[in-house]
Each structure stands twice: as C-alpha cells, then as structure tokens.
Amino acid sequence: MKWRAFQNRPLLHFAVLGSLLFGASEQLAPQTRHDVEPQRIRLEAATIARLVDQFERRYREKASPPVRRALIRAWVDEELLFREALKLGLDRGDSSVSRRLLEKYRPLAEDPRRPDAELIGEARALGWIEHDIVVRRILVERVRRLLRYDPEGVVAQEEIDAAIASRVDVHQIPATRDFEHLFLGAVAAPGTPDTALPTTDWEIPDRGRTLQDLESRSQPFPLGLSFRAQDELRIASRFGEAFAQQVFAAPSGTWFGPVASSHGWHIVRVTGARAAAPLPTDVTRTRAIRTVSRQHGEARLRRQLERLSQRYIIEVDDPHWHNGRPAIWRARN
C-alpha cells in the first residue's frame, strides 16, 4: 500500500532522486577537490550597481549597507544554485526548459522546420541555457526546492506546540460583522473642512426599512450597500480604519451616523456580529506543521548553500563586502 502511494507521487520521486544525486556529488567532490583548482564566481561592481539601482527604483528608498549585502548574497546564492542545477542535469528532459528554448530560438534558426531536438541542441550549444533569464529562474527554483527537501525530516511535537503558542492570532477565525449603509455623498468639496456633510437631505432611516428602500434613498456606491462576514482588517482596507472601528464598536440592529469613510459619508447599521473563534484543532496543527517544515527547509537550504560555496572562490567587487562575507569569500579593492 505504501509503495503504491509512493508511485502516485511524481514530485516525491523527483525530490528523492535529486537528493540521491546531490548526495552522490557530495561524496565524489572530496576526491577531486584537491586535484582541481576551485572555480570562481565573480560579482562585478557594475552588476552590484545595477542590483542596487533596481532595488532603489522599485522600493523608492536608498539601499542601506545591510540591504546592499543582502542583494549581493542573493545574487551569489542564485549563481550557486544555477551552477548546481546544471551539474545535476536538471535542465535535461525538463519540458518547461525545452519549451522555452524552442519558443525563443525557433524564430532565429536558419531552418525552423528542423526537429525540435536539433533546435534545442543548437540553442544549448549557443549558450542559451546560461543566458536566458527565464530558464535560469526555472532551474534555480527546481534546485532550491530540491535542496530544501529532506525525505527523512520529522517535525517534533514540541516544535508544533511552540509554533502554535508563538502566533495564537494566526490560529483564530477573526471576528466579523454584517452591515448595511446609506451613502450620503463625497467627503467634502475642495476647500471645505473634512467634517463638512454633503448638502443633501438625510435622516436616520426607520427601523423597518428594507434594502430596496435604502437603495432608493442612497447615492450610488460602487462597492454595494450590504456586506456580510467582514473582519476589521477587510473593512479598514475598503473604508478606512476609523470607519471599521466604529462598525465594530456599534451594537447590532441600530442605525448610526453620519460616519465618515475614505469614500464619503454614510449612515450605517450592523446586522450581525460574530466573535473571534479558534480554528479546528486539525487545521491549527496542519498549519503549524507547515510552518515548522518551511523553517526546516530554509535552514537546510542555507546549510547546502554554505557547502556549495566551499567549492568556489567567490570574489565580490565591493570594498565594503568584507563586513558580511563568509570566510572563503574575497572582497576585491
């Protein structure tokens, strides 16, 4: 029964086979490490400048020294992973890599009608594997998943209990509110105080008003006039924090307002309230196991990257890098 379950899990096949390949390479490496000069990975100053520029453009803030070191580390890690993927042959027989090479190379080939295998071989010979960013990302992610995986990994009960205790809020169903509202109009005309109400007739609706009555009296509102099972964070994202706090503080069944939101003014009635509740035990346990397993995987990946880095002389063209580099890494002045 267990063997049949194993047969039906191709991703597990890949992870186990990859672990065996990686283990074999680790066993063979010491026999040749003293006979072959270590390969080099060099990060040029121009590449570092490009990484920093991309970060600053994306996040619109200056890259601090710790951020700069993190960018360098991420680049080197990716290069290590890509080279390991090629050594393990993960690009061979990968349908996503083959499709990418055909898609990009066929229009440029002298005879695009040749068999796919010939076109793929020619693209490889021209170095498309090494220089196509999409192929690199595919292979890096494959080997990253491989190095995270531990076929014998076990999550201890103590780790599960600690994960649950550390983030109690994550293991709860949040409190929610049902509410409906009349939209009175925009917050204020330009140049008027934010507290100014729109110049329209309004009053607290009668207790017995139906939703159709509300729609006939409300101004058009793009998000609708009735909401169900909304937690405070979701209401705040749609209407603003102050509006969400008032909705959660209000008793059920009573109209109140006018209340200002990020859209304008509203008269609101809470129609249902549910308190926060713990998640079912099995769901909480499953989430905790996933969290701990992910932590184990990241720690395993970091250990494997450190081992891989020992096979290379890594040169970083940055005089400040020595503050955060591993001992084998060299900073070039």
Predicted structure pTM score: 0.57
Which residue intervals of 60-208 are DSSP H helices? 65-87, 95-105, 116-125, 128-131, 133-148, 157-166
Please give the Cα distance from 249 to 244 (Å, whole number): 9
Cα 299 → chain centroid? 18
Concatenate the DSSP letters of all residues of 50-69 into one string. Answer: HHHHHHHHHH-S---HHHHH
Phi-psi bin for 199: left (phi > 0), alpha (psi -120 to 50), beta?
beta
Q: Is the torsion defined by CA of 291, 7, 82, 324 positive or negative?
A: positive
- pLDDT in tens for each of the 333 residues of the chain? 444 544 555 444 444 445 444 454 444 444 333 345 578 899 999 999 999 999 999 988 899 988 999 999 999 999 999 999 999 888 887 888 888 888 888 888 888 888 888 888 888 888 888 888 888 999 999 999 999 988 777 888 888 888 877 776 566 788 999 999 989 887 543 344 444 444 445 555 655 555 566 667 778 888 888 999 999 999 999 999 999 999 999 999 988 988 999 899 999 999 999 998 887 888 888 888 888 899 999 999 999 999 999 999 999 998 767 654 554 455 444
Count, residues in the chain: 333
Q: Residue 169 in contact with residue 264, Cβ under 8 Å? A: no
